[in-house]
A and B are shown apart, each in its own frame.
Chain A
Amino acid sequence: MQLSDQELIYRCREGDVEAFGQIYARYERQVYRFVYHMIGDPDDADDIKQDTFMKAYRSLATFRGECSLLTWLLKVAGNLCRDRLKSRSRRGEVALNLEVECDLRDTSDLGADPATLLERKDLNATVYRVLTGMPEAQRELIVLRDVEGLSYQQIADVLGCSVASVKLRLFRARRGFKDRVESLLKVR
């Protein structure tokens, strides 16, 4: 039986840990994808994903249900991503390259055509390079809207701003992304 988010939250508050397991199973993939595209390193993304759910489990009592559970989880994950990126920049660390990680971990690549694989790696590297060159806020908007496919209202819930503000910021972020892609392709 598929329970709604509200029912699962209620059960979690009653002390049912397995209900939280269902929430985890429902949203783990989306949270992980978002964090991965923000951070660019699968190990870090995995850590942040687990931290996100830990934090959510601790804070379920404060969840008022004003937004969806997914946007709430993405908000928590976004905050953790920002913290991680800040600590990274303080320590001067650079994330592992996405193309290498895809090569080592994605078993679906084993039977792929080498040309396609190379093209895919090149594509990943290009997009990742462009994304990491952008300000964090703009990167978050691009990932939420154009990679994860969230609606304007969901993004507004995640970022805690109005839909109009999301549209304006997204316009600027997309223009920045396009300019960077163009300049990157010109260099090549």
Chain B
Amino acid sequence: MSQKTLLIVDDVESLRDVLASVLEDEGYIVFKAGNGIEGLAVLKSKKIDLLITDIFMPEMDGFELSMEVRTKYPQAKLIIISGGGNVRSVEKANKFDAVQAGQDLLNPDSILKKPFAPSELIELVESVLS
């Protein structure tokens, strides 16, 4: 079985790096991007099996990126990491209610809410890719 390729998009570098390390330890090939635009650039050049993206980012956010992926790269699986600890308030505060909209429109394979345990992440990635 060939190694699966993952793309992690998050604007917080330290979190992005450690996420990548954790998943690399599990045997995946991991690419990283700081925002949606960088993420799209990676998608153009590499075949990505799973996109893990944060929603709120500068330049191009996770919502827009996911839309692109859903239309241009339908084979790629999608996990959305939602905003932060206070998901409810984020949902309410945001005009287009990104998480709910993400569920309805993008139909992501899973949503991971911060804070999550590393084992939770690993199990989820495994199940989405199997």
Q: Say if A and B assemble together.
A: no
Show the binding face of B for A, using Cβ within 8 Å: none
